[in-house]
Structure 1
Amino acid sequence: MSMFQFEGFQRGARLAGRMLVLALALSSNPVFAQSPQIAPFAPGDTGVGVATAPASLTLGAQFSGDRKPIRSGLVWRVLSETADGSPPRIVARSTDAQPVFMLEPGTYLLHAAYGFASGTKRITLGLQGLRDQISISAGGLSLAGSIGDNPIAANQLNFSVFVPLQGNSEGRLVVSNAKAGELIRLPEGTYHVVSTYGDSNAIQRADVKVESGKVTDATLHHRAARVTLKLVASPGGEAFAGTAFSVLTPGGDVIREAIGAFPQVVLAEGDYVLIARQEGQVHSRDFKVETGLDRDIEVLSR
């Protein structure tokens, strides 16, 4: 071995020895004893935080009474709480009975609306996902009207639903302009229902109870009839066109006004005065409305 080869060998041996000492020193330091965990790099990652994969949140709702699942009529909202104390913001919505949301792990506020009833719940979503339920104390109300045993056509009825307050049955209006046969979803409780047949004074009222998980069918029985108003020259004669009619109570209160040859009016059972005005002439007669007896009310022009 030449002198140059021997000196190169000595320098290599000394460098290898120093590397071995450094490796032993690092391995003995507890900070470096474990292999470092390297977070995967995601596109767009700035290095400030580590991106978290979304987790699945599967939701359902049930009636609080019998625990039966609610299979329709739900509106879901998922809200995320903010760190600065500002109002929660909606991050997801759904109208499915059992929605599945993909969200970042964290704390959320759930809101499930079932018509005029609702339920809320705070949940914590972890990496493993979550299935959860909300209980809603609610039921359904279906309304109808009749004259005796004869049902009234749905397009002739209008319903309003109130929450009674102490000393006032019509304390707070909950539903207006509801139609017959429509399913009204309400919180469990007692309600005051007002049914209007036609567009004058044929009105009926009733208190109904809505139970959780059940549909309450309520029929309000009206005492009224439909009358056709006519101004004629002789009984059974042709009606004069353009006649202005006023229907009054015996005390003079105006119940209904109409213009035409033979307008139709629904009136509650009782006594009335009919006034007909045509070409400057005024004619009148008294008449009576009997429940279920639809008929013509004629005023003679002479």
Structure 2
Amino acid sequence: MFQRDEFQTVAVPMKAARAAIAVLMVSVLAALPALAQTPGATPSATTPGSPPPDTAPAIRPGQATLSLSAQFSGNRKPVRSGLVWRVLSESADGSPPKIIARSSNAEPSFPLDPGVYLLHAAYGFASATKRVTLGAQGLTDRLSISAGGLSLAGSIGETPIAPNLLNFSVFVPLQGNSEGRLVASNVKSGELIRLPEGTYHVVSTYGDSNAIQRSDVRVESGQVTQATLHHRAAQVTLKLVAGPGGEAFAGTAFSVLTPGGDVIREAIGAFPQVILAEGDYVLIARQEGQVFSRDFKVEAGRDRDIEVIAR
């Protein structure tokens, strides 16, 4: 499990990506110990339900031992978990290499016949590849991976947004297109994503309507970047009532529109809840063939009831 208390927090300025209201607060943690203990890493022996560690087969006569490890390219600290190793053999006829061994240990050892092998180490979405020659005396080698971690969160002002209400998508920007290539979708708040070093475009969706913020984030090799995207939105409860403060009519069909008439959200019920970005809206309520409406305003962080009077 990713242990946040093993880091020293260092404040890092971050430039907001397109929207002037999208403010990004980023802290980069000196993450080498914790990056080695992130979700998806090999569980410790004390973790309930931990799988047994990989066991290397016994070495046979004529074989040699290939011992591997990996380091972060930025600071050359060892990668202690989260790795998936593959050893591939190359055939003489030019056919694609074949996987002959694999391991999820941080520092695996493989008993192999002497020869030329292709090594591949995967660390989340990052990886490194190297060709090595194994002699009769054995070989110890280390691969360098240019990768870091990204952990995302959201807030309204200084108030954190509940993780179950947030969803993130991470893109690799391309020239002229910030959302050039999707890297990860449906990322949850607090989830750690292992990524190659570089700049990424993050899209944060609060709720399921139009409360969306965007920003660019830089991931450094050997570090975990924690980024909080600040939303300007609120949760409103829609009601159709006979009078102010009255009981809500069941089975009411609601439509939330922009002042220009674009539909933002539709819902049915006595008091459905909707998360909306800060701004002006028109609410239409339909009940038993009758249509009622009112204008309303959403202010960031101000959750409230929006009543439509049935008259």
- Measure, in 2, the Cα distance between the counterparts of 1:54 and 1:233: 85
For 1:218, which of 222, 227, 244 is the aligned residue?
227
Deviations 1:88-121 (A, max 9, x none): 0001111111111111211110000111110000
More helix per residue:
1
Deviations 1:188-209 (A, max 9, x none): 1111111000000000011111
Q: Equivalent residue of 1:155, what SS?
A: helix
- Measure, in 1, the Cα distance between the counterparts of 2:289 and 2:106: 65
Q: Normalising to structure 2: TM-score of the pair? A: 0.79
Matched residue type, 2:160? P
- Measure, in 2, the Cα distance between the counterparts of 1:259 and 1:110: 56
1:147 and 2:156 aligned? yes
- Measure, in 2, the Cα distance between the counterparts of 1:127 and 1:103: 10
For 2:242, which of 233, 239, 255 is the aligned residue?
233
For 2:184, which of 175, 179, 194 is the aligned residue?
175
How far has the Cα of 1:52 moved from its partner? 5.3
- Measure, in 2, the Cα distance between the counterparts of 1:245 and 1:102: 67
The corresponding residue for 2:296 is 287
The corresponding residue for 2:20 is none
Deviations 1:241-261 (A, max 9, x none): 111111000000000011111
Aligned residue runs from structure 1 range 1-302, under 5 A: 53-302=62-311
Matched residue type, 2:81? S
Matched residue type, 1:187? P
The corresponding residue for 2:11 is none
- Measure, in 1, the Cα distance between the counterparts of 2:274 and 2:256: 9
- Measure, in 1, the Cα distance between the counterparts of 2:107 and 2:164: 34
Q: Equivalent residue of 1:66, what SS?
A: coil
- Measure, in 1, the Cα distance between the counterparts of 2:86 and 2:310: 66
Q: Equivalent residue of 2:164, what SS?
A: helix
- Measure, in 1, the Cα distance between the counterparts of 2:106 and 2:164: 31
Moved more, 269-278 or 53-62: 53-62
The corresponding residue for 1:13 is none
Deviations 1:4-50 (A, max 9, x none): xxxxxxxxxxxxxxxxxxxxxxxxxxxxxxxxxxxxxxxxxxxxxxx
- Measure, in 2, the Cα distance between the counterparts of 1:195 and 1:78: 38
Aligned residues: 252
How far has the Cα of 1:53 moved from its partner? 2.7
- Measure, in 1, the Cα distance between the counterparts of 2:130 and 2:70: 11
Unmatched runs of 5 consecutive residues or more in structure 1: 1-50
- Measure, in 2, the Cα distance between the counterparts of 1:162 and 1:57: 37
Compare relative contact order (CA 8 Å, sep 6+) and give the higher one, 1 or 2: 2
Which one has a bigger Cα radius of gyration? 1
Unmatched runs of 5 consecutive residues or more in structure 2: 1-59
- Measure, in 2, the Cα distance between the counterparts of 1:104 and 1:52: 9
Deviations 1:171-201 (A, max 9, x none): 1111111111111111111111110000000
Contact 1:52–1:104 (CA under 8 A) maintained in structure 2: no
- Measure, in 2, the Cα distance between the counterparts of 1:146 and 1:222: 6
- Measure, in 1, the Cα distance between the counterparts of 2:188 and 2:295: 34
- Measure, in 1, the Cα distance between the counterparts of 2:208 and 2:178: 22
Q: Equivalent residue of 1:262, what SS?
A: coil
Deviations 1:56-108 (A, max 9, x none): 11111100010000111111111110111000000111111111111121111
Runs of 4 or more, structure 1, over 6 Å off, are none
Matched residue type, 1:150? T
Matched residue type, 2:95? S
What is the aligned-residue RMSD (CA, Å)? 1.0
